[in-house]
Amino acid sequence: MSENNQLPQDEQKKAQAEEAAGQSGFMAFWNRPIKVPEGKKQRTMGQEILSWIYTIATALAIVLVVRTFVFELYKVDGASMSNTLVDGERMFCTKFDYLTNGPQRGDVVICHFPNRGRTAFVKRLVAMPGDTVEIKNRQLYVNDELVPDPPKMYLMPNSDYPKRTLQENEYFVVGDNRGNSHDSRAGDVGPLTRDQIVAHVRTVIFPFGSFRTVE
């Protein structure tokens, strides 16, 4: 009877000994000096690991800040901005300028659509708050002035849009390939709000042979 009672105590002691040995081994590894160039301050393995963790965390924080407030790279997906932008091209897009001045009429922008989450779309901003926008006879008018179609890009039949005055915080975007673009003309998109316009397309950076400024 006493032998059976003693067995769990022996196992417990063994487990405690193994745990202590493991902790001892870890501390030995953590406090182990590492080789450093002559004249440099001696460091332990633990200090080196913490230094790497700090460096990686700092780099990730910088990347997050840059992507949120400075610039970001986007890829063109589709033909809605042809021939200004071509499917598969990579664009360099700035964000810092929109923190102060805001988007301007004529900018090519990266934007989000309602109920589409964080999916990014590239369109041209054609009308601002207070502007009137209208499509009649397959032609775009902003403030009753004709906005010419981009070269070789034409509106399709039955694409008229009734005249509308944009309210405060409403922005109207369309694709340069107006006959093949899902944009503010569609009922499920409509005019965008300022917070849905996230970046200003500046240059095409890839393919390298296609490097150019986006007007």
For the question of residue 181 being annotated catalytic, the response is: no
List the beta bridge partners of residue 110: 122, 199
Convert the pLDDT of each residue in 103-124 to its tens digit. 999 999 999 999 999 899 999 9
Distances (CA, A) of 111 to 3, 26, 41, 141: 75, 51, 51, 22
pTM: 0.73
The topology (CATH level 3) of 71-213 is Umud Fragment, subunit A (2.10.109)
- Spell out the domain ranges in the chain: 2-68, 71-213
Average pLDDT, the chain: 83
Note whether 107 and 174 are within 8 A (CB).
no
Q: 80, 82, 181, 184: which one is catalytic? A: 80
The most confident of the ranges 6-10, 42-46, 67-71, 113-117 is 113-117
Which of 82, 123, 181, 184 is catalytic? The answer is: 123
Per-residue pLDDT at 198 exceeds 70: yes
- The band of 7, judged by pLDDT with boundaries at 50, 70 and 90, is low
Q: Catalytic site residue 123?
A: yes
- Answer yes or no: is pLDDT of 185 > 70: yes
Q: Mind listing the pLDDT tens digit for each residue in 67-81?
A: 666 678 999 999 999
Per-residue pLDDT at 16: 56
